Amino acid sequence: MIVLKTSRELAKMREAGKIAGRALQLAGKACEAGISTAEINAIAERFIRSCGAKPSFKGLYGFPATACISVNEQVIHGIPSKNCILKPGDIVSIDLGAFYEGYHGDTAATFTVGQVDPNVQRLIDVTTESLFKGISQALTGNRVGDISHAVQTCVEENGFSVVRDFVGHGVGTELHESPEVPNFGSAARGVRLMAGMTIAIEPMVNMGDFRVKVLDDDWTVVTVDKSMSAHFEHTIAITNDGPVVLTEP
């Protein structure tokens, strides 16, 4: 069931989104050579809790940390570890959420550790662009497929591939609500978008093949061909005045 939010509920989601956005910003700034992903996770958790919020991910489906931190060929759901030490040239995808006054904000971005290969930087730039291409289609009267098609077109026109095994989703009192929001598909298909819907649009884009697999820890998703992967996400509200990003810091 898709839950339409009232203006009061959207205001609460904006507060949750700001906390998540700021936590992501702080975690991203910490992505320097020599730091562990466990330390980055701790930075994010301290900030979220200091705001009177709770980490959305910690304990969800058994996930052990505040943030999913995925390095290089890891696509999503990387488990922070004191043994995973960042080095120059790495890229780090951080995905986290904040639960505040009954509502979630969910956001993600990919950060660089120092300078990276120009092709890797282009991957990051195109993934960011594809997110905003998708957001631009989150208009009342459009359909989910319009978002999906915009993301896929941007990615594939630039020579990259869209992960198909994982998708965006509705967000609200639950972190994962209806509808699903794929990053691929045909325009003018799927659920019609209405004012009050709140969704997470989150392109996951690989340099090489789109195929992925889950490692033996039952969480970490990696590219099958070990190519680099980038991930960006915003929670947005669909309104009669156009899409509103809720997870800006």
The pLDDT score that the predictor gives to residue 138 is: 98
Quick check: is 21 in a domain? yes
- pLDDT score for 23: 98
| Coil, helix or strand at residue 50 | helix
Q: Is residue 168 part of a domain?
A: yes
Residues 80-116 as b/e (b if ≥16 CB within 10 A, e otherwise) read beeebebeeebbbbbbbbbbbeebbbbbbbbbbbeeb
What tokens were used for 231? 């991930």
- Which residues does 131 contact at the CB level (< 8 Å), separation at least 6? 151, 201, 202, 203, 232, 233, 234
In a domain, 71, yes or no: yes
Distance of CA 212 to the CA centre of its chain: 17
Q: For residue 205, count CB atoms less than 10 angstroms from its CB and return exposed for 0-12, middle for 13-18, buried for 19 or more.
A: buried
- Quote the number of domains for the chain: 1
What local confidence, expressed as pLDDT, does residue 117 receive? 97
Rounded CA separation 190/184 (Å): 12
Sign of the Cα pseudo-torsion (109, 45, 248, 13, in order):
positive
Query: Do residues 198 and 10 lie in contact, with contact meaning Cβ atoms separated by under 8 Å?
Result: yes
What is the residue range of 126's domain? 7-245
What residue ranges in 157-233 does DSSP mark as E strands? 161-162, 168-170, 177-181, 198-201, 204-206, 212-214, 221-223, 229-231
Sign (positive/negative) of CA torsion 74, 183, 116, 29?
negative
Residue 223 is predicted with a pLDDT of 98
Residue at 2 is within a domain: no
Task: Please indicate, yes or no, if residue 176 is contained in any of the structural domains.
Answer: yes
pLDDT of residue 17: 98
Residue 182 lies in a domain: yes
Supply the Cα-derived Rg of the chain in whole angstroms.
17
Residue 34 within any structural domain of the chain? yes
- How far CA 55 is from CA of 148, 191, 235, in Å, comes to 28, 29, 15
Q: Which parts of 91-204 fold into alpha helices (H)? A: 118-136, 144-157
Give pLDDT, residue 22.
98
Q: Tens digit of pLDDT per residue, the chain (249 long)? A: 999 999 999 999 999 999 999 999 999 999 999 999 999 999 999 999 999 999 999 999 999 999 999 999 999 999 999 999 999 999 999 999 999 999 999 999 999 999 999 999 999 999 999 999 999 999 999 999 999 999 999 999 999 999 999 999 999 999 999 999 999 999 999 999 999 999 999 999 999 999 999 999 999 999 999 999 999 999 999 999 999 999 999
**Domain CATH code at residue 199:** 3.90.230.10
Closest CA to 130 of 157, 106, 150: 150
**65 and 58 Cβ atoms separated by less than 8 Å:** yes
Domain presence at residue 1: no
Q: How far is CA 235 from the centre of its chain?
A: 8
